Structure 1
Amino acid sequence: MDLPNRRIDRTRELERRGVRRTGRTRHVGTRRRQRDGNGAPHAPARAGDEGRRTRQVHGARIACRPDGPNGRLDDRCNRRPPRAARAKQTVVRLQDRVAIITECGRGETYGVVWARALAREGAVVVVADPDPARAEEVADALRAAGGQAAATVVDVGATPSCEALAAFALARFGRIDVLANTHHLWHDLRRDDTSDGYLHHVLDYNAVSILRTARAVLPAMRVTGGRIVSLSSIGAWYLGGRPAEQLRQTGELPSFAYPASKVLENGLTRFLAGALGAYGITVNAIAPGMIASPATMERLTAPERQAFVERTALRRLLDVSDTTGALLYLASDDAAHVTGQVLVVDGGLVMLG
């Protein structure tokens, strides 16, 4: 006795229901809209479906909206693209945009790592540094890796130098799209220098300087819009137990120049965001946590380093490269409506305290 061929029966059932089967993929055919005796189409199944094609998918009527991307039908009504078209593609978010790095320094610093990340995303990078030889060295490395870069000198403590930096970028590339304020002074809270002179120097270099660089790029950015991203720190909120420990041991407060500068920088970031938003300019900052850099490792004892690890939710210190994702997000169109924010990238240190 012949057994029934369930595959054939299933195919016939699908054809009867208007579903065409090809291989392992089912394609849902378009149902023609029935008309009444006067030739007018029946009312749509739902309010708001007028003028739309509809398809029956998994027992539900799906409206094909003609207002999809680039005027095409909604993706739910399009066939699946060929396998080659579905292959993962590299997204270059900053192609041909001009980005300024205000300091690179020595080693794997924020300036160097951020410049490299921007170049990988297609940006043209203007590398600036107080040391022109170091700026040229970093720019050469970017060009050797296939990127576009130029080097110049800058002193963010002087307004004319900041203006010259912006003029250099405009003369060389014709526009300024991203300003990355990577310059900063790292201050050990155990330093003995509590003088007003040192306090003013740190406040000026870490905070007031972002006003100078913003003013310098404003004539260019107010025409095309732009992104300003500054390097802040969790030091604006988190000091650990060292100030209290020093007070107990010496009877004196340490210098709070560094955390004070970061508090001021965060405030200026918000004020600049409010002032420049009308020109399509976003202003944000990134506040990294404890970075496992050589400079940090030299300043902390082994027990202190371990204490930071244990107080971090992810149980590890950060690498400078952990901040590049936040940078590229804030510098790209993905964050077009994000401004006045200080994005903390610390592995959960501030959260756990």
Structure 2
Amino acid sequence: MTAVANLFDLTGRTALVTGGSSGLGLQIAEALGTQGARVVISSRKADALQSAQAHLASLGVDASWIAADNASEDDIERLANEAMERLGKVDILVNNAGATWGASTVDHPLAAWDKLMNLNVRSIFLLTQKIGKLSMIPNRYGRIVNLASIAGLIGNGPNAQPTIAYNTSKGAVVNFTRALASEWGPYGITVNALAPGFFPSKMTKGTIEKVGVEKLSEQVPLQRIGDDDDLKGAALLFASDAGKHITGQILAVDGGITAV
């Protein structure tokens, strides 16, 4: 029998977190790193990554960064190769990088639709495929954590801004997670997804400023939006031995919105 605390210990493990310079990605990188994992974070902007690395270092986390645009196939390949060079293997892959776009369906630009499908879906497929080939399948071990959203589980409320492409892309992430879990289970790889509700981030900053936290909290059974700690426990469950018999699952971390 393993002590419960040891089930969440990531000492000796390695992790690659995309979109890791801020928001949910940085929160997850904190959780993995403070439990002992060596972490590589990536995003597009080097200055933001440097700040995030300094923050993680202040917590005692062994972290480095790689600037990469996940909308670029060449950058994804470079990211995977450089992460392997630094870490030697990638035990934990957190697919967090993504974007959103608000527009009514009849007015939604095709270019914006393609941008979201490329970054929110295609890039996850390409990076996961690469890391699977280079590390997880040969090592017969892996923990893949995809960032979906409750927008991939339910439609928008009648007063919410329409986000048809975002909802569709996150719905794709949900079933990508289930399909890959089935396919890669025999290799000892688990594949799960977190489906956050409303959290403060660069992506949601405009909505928070426009609507306000109090108004956004009214529709949530717990009467609050997510904070800087609310994804950590769920991410650790999926990334550690505590969740070694959990795969193909979508966990909503939303204060109860999807229960209503």
Q: Name the TM tier (shorter chain).
A: 0.7 to 0.9
SS in 2 for 1:242: coil
Correspondence for 2:123: 209
User: Please, what TM-score do these two structures have when normalized by structure 2?
Assistant: 0.88
> 1:277 offset after TM fit, Å?
1.2
Give 1:310's aligned amino acid.
Answer: E
Which stretches in structure 1 are left out of the alignment for 5+ residues? 1-68, 71-87, 247-253
Contact 2:7 2:241 in 1 (8 A): no
- 1:235-264 deviation per Cα after TM superposition (whole angstroms, max 9, x unaligned): 121411136xx8xxxxxxx55111111111
In the superposition, the TM-score normalised over structure 1's length comes to 0.66
Provide the residue aligned with 2:13 in structure 1: 97
Q: 1:309/1:169 Cα in 2 relative to 1: closer, same or farther (>3 Å)?
A: same
Percent identity reads: 32
CA distance in 1, matches of 2:237, 2:183: 22
Distance between the aligned counterparts of 2:9 and 2:234, measured in 1?
13
CA drift at 1:266: 0.8
Separation (CA, whole Å) in 2 of partners of 1:187 and 1:230: 20
Q: Which has the larger radius of gyration?
A: 1
Task: Answer yes or no: is the 8 Å Cα contact 2:17–2:29 preserved in 1.
Answer: yes
Aligned to 1:317: 225
| Structure 1 residue matching 2:11: 3-state secondary structure | coil
Matches within 5 A, 1:124-273: 124-189=38-103, 194-218=108-132, 219-224=134-139, 225-236=141-152, 237-242=154-159, 254=162, 256-273=164-181
The reply on whether 1:285 has 2:193 as its aligned counterpart is yes
Long gaps (5+) in structure 2: none
Distance 2:195 2:64 in 1: 27
Distance 1:120 1:230 in 2: 20
Residue 297 of structure 1, CA deviation: 5.3
The RMSD of aligned alpha carbons is: 2.6
Displacement of 1:192 in angstroms is 8.4
Aligned-residue offset at 1:215: 1.0
Higher helix fraction (1 or 2): 2
User: Residue deviations 1:222-244, cap 9 Å, x none?
Assistant: 1221111011111121411136x
Taking the aligned partners of 1:141 and 1:297, their CA distance within structure 2 comes to 21
- After superposition, give the CA deviation of every residue in 1:52-80 in whole Å (9 maximum; x if it has no partner): xxxxxxxxxxxxxxxxx49xxxxxxxxxx
